Amino acid sequence: MDRTLVNNLHRAARRVDDDPWGDCIWGIITGHSAEDALRIARTSKPLVIKRLLATTNIGHERFEHSCCITDWSGAPVREQSGYTEPSTTTYPQAEQNDQLLSVFTHQLETQAPQFVVTSSHATQFNLEMPFSRGLIFSYANRFHSLPKHHLPDFRKVLADATQADYARIGKLSAECPAVEPDGEPRVWLAAGNCLFGNAQRSEHSMVMTALSAYTCNQVVGYTVPTWYGEGGWGTLGSFMGNTSGTSLAEAWFLNNQFLLHRTMQLHPRLLEVQFNSPKFHPGEIVYQLMEKNISIPSEGKAENVLGLVHDRDVVAFYGDPAWRASVDESNAQAPYSVTWTSPRSFTITANRDAKERCAIWFPTAETGRNATGCNLPGAIFTNDFILIPSLELKQGDSLNVEIQ
């Protein structure tokens, strides 16, 4: 498994019919061993997520336990249990390299997080804490904490992140504490990490170890360096901000459909432009624009053109997409709930004041095939779902939608 495979799977999944949208939710089932892959494939019990570990800040309201090593100034750690207001701990800068890393590994070992969300620097083989204050690396199906005094030995290998160089650190891993697996089923969204989702055909990669030793049934992550962020952070937004019951697989898929929609708004033929490199080279995209004689309207900022093309096919989904992992709603709900009152009408209700994008699945394929429009301005219809780029409702307000 590598970046090229992920590119090709994204594109193949849009070629089933003639429209530009994704035609299936795909996923890569793999692992450090055949037994790890079988565990993922055979898991059937849905996961209702109640416990969170993150290296960025995420709202705590929907989690029974949450620990966020924030990427705010000073890297304060926010932790709560029992749906309470988080307590905040800020470590002196001189201690952060060890303390932030210790918080992350302790939480992973002892608090059974079911949802791990990470940001900050990463490669295929390591993950840094915010502001480079400590890191873990992957070797021989274990994550290892890197003590500060070993950083000079690892610096070149971690920067290059090639398997040939990385093999040199095997003998040093014995001196680096391993993070003990706990066997808890979980999902991992590397929303802001470069390269975390690129297995790079290596059993030592971060994603392979997460899927195997640390019992992640699903992992979402970039296969290339990230700078635009829509593929990763957009998936998190759809997971936390879509309708009730949205699964991680659905959030990843639907976010990509919104990305396609934004791309076509700038220029329909931008879907012909492909990003195929292991690193971002603006010239590759600009050359294709010139070769295909695609001119972008003045309101289409260059950053958005380059970013949307870049992010379209580079975020990998590992795991069985039919297996459902969704966030618990017993304490706080998703922004919207949807109730189908007939095959051609539904009611969408705001569970809080909300102004979000959202996507709604059709109850049957037949509904989508025959749909031509609805009384909801700006809605985009596909065979399987409706995209609503922006929907503003006050808490308790409902909107009745009739499909023509």
pLDDT of residue 159: 60
Contacts of 26 (CB under 8 A, 6+ apart): 9, 13, 317, 321
Residue 165 has pLDDT above 70, yes or no: no
Determine the average pLDDT of the residues in 14-34.
Answer: 96
Measured N-to-C along each axis, helices 302-311 and 282-291 cross at an angle, to the nearest 10 degrees, of 100
Q: Are 219 and 205 in contact (CB under 8 A)?
A: no
Share the mean pLDDT of the chain.
Answer: 92
Nearest-angstrom CA–CA distance, 369 and 18: 13
pLDDT at 372: 77
Single-letter amino acid, residue 403: I
Helix (H) or strand (E) holding 3: helix 3-12
Give the integer Cα–Cα distance in Å for 311 and 302. 14
- Position 368 scores a pLDDT of 78
List, for residues 44-99, the tens digit of each pLDDT value: 999 999 999 999 999 999 999 999 999 998 899 999 999 999 999 999 887 887 89
Flag whether pLDDT at 161 surpasses 60: no
Locate the domains of the chain by residue range.
3-250, 256-311, 335-399
Helix (H) or strand (E) holding 210: helix 206-212
Confidence of residue 250 (pLDDT cuts 50, 70, 90): very high
